[in-house]
């Protein structure tokens, strides 16, 4: 019969193993905290899944981070680039439109130095939010272009020079 204050002889090894596993888990959890994001309304769209699985491991030299929401991506620590797939498809706008590697992006600089870029002519639409004090916006958009291209273009940006005015005064686009 064993004494009530004596532990079996395998207990120290088991205790060391348990402490090691717990300590390792805590360290990993501290390093791998997910970026808290909210999924876009259409994040469950099948096209978003194609985009997300093709996202690069680095954007603008920043490493990818785990996120807690479907249809999202994040890069940098702290996160300098955020991506949401499934945002509302933008209507025609007077905001600047850039074509980078075949992807049309509407640029919203109303929160500069944070810039919001939303694809134009693609459904579902994709939004990329960039901290321009941490990374280059054009580099980030170039880096995500391949993945974004998995949502086919159904339209494109047009500028004032693309609009033709018929003789009866109605406005038409090419």
DSSP conformation class of 134: T
Confidence of residue 166 (pLDDT cuts 50, 70, 90): confident
Looking at the predicted structure, is the pLDDT value of residue 70 above 80? Answer: yes
Q: Which two tokens stand for residue 98?
A: 């850039």
Mean pLDDT of 120-145: 98
> Cβ neighbours of residue 157 under 8 Å, at least 6 residues apart?
97, 99, 104, 106, 120, 121
| Averaged confidence pLDDT in the chain | 84
DSSP helix/strand/coil, 47: helix
Lowest mean pLDDT among 53-57, 88-92, 95-99, 156-160: 156-160
% of the chain with per-residue pLDDT over 70: 75
Q: Where are the domains of the chain?
A: 46-157
**Residue 161 has what pLDDT?**
73
> Cβ neighbours of residue 160 under 8 Å, at least 6 residues apart?
none
Looking at the predicted structure, is the pLDDT value of residue 34 above 80? Answer: yes
Confidence of residue 159 (pLDDT cuts 50, 70, 90): confident
Q: Which of 95, 92, 121 is nearest to 107 (CA)?
A: 95
Mean pLDDT of 101-130: 98
Confidence of residue 171 (pLDDT cuts 50, 70, 90): low
């Amino acid at each position: 019969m064993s004494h009530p204050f004596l532990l079996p002889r395998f207990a120290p090894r088991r205790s060391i193993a348990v402490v090691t596993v717990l300590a390792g888990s805590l360290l990993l959890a501290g390093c791998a905290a997910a970026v808290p994001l909210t999924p876009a309304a259409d994040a469950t769209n099948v096209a978003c899944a194609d985009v997300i699985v093709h996202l690069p491991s680095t954007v603008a030299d920043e490493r990818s981070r785990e996120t807690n929401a479907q249809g999202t991506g994040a890069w940098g620590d702290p996160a300098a680039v955020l991506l949401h797939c499934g945002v509302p498809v933008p209507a025609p706008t007077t905001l600047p439109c850039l074509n980078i590697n075949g992807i049309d992006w509407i640029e919203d600089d109303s929160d500069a130095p944070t810039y919001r870029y939303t694809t134009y002519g693609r459904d579902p639409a994709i939004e990329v939010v960039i901290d321009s004090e941490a990374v280059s916006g054009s580099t980030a958009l170039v880096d995500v272009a391949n993945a974004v291209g998995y949502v086919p273009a159904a339209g494109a940006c047009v500028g004032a020079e693309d609009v033709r005015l018929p003789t009866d005064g109605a406005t038409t686009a090419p």
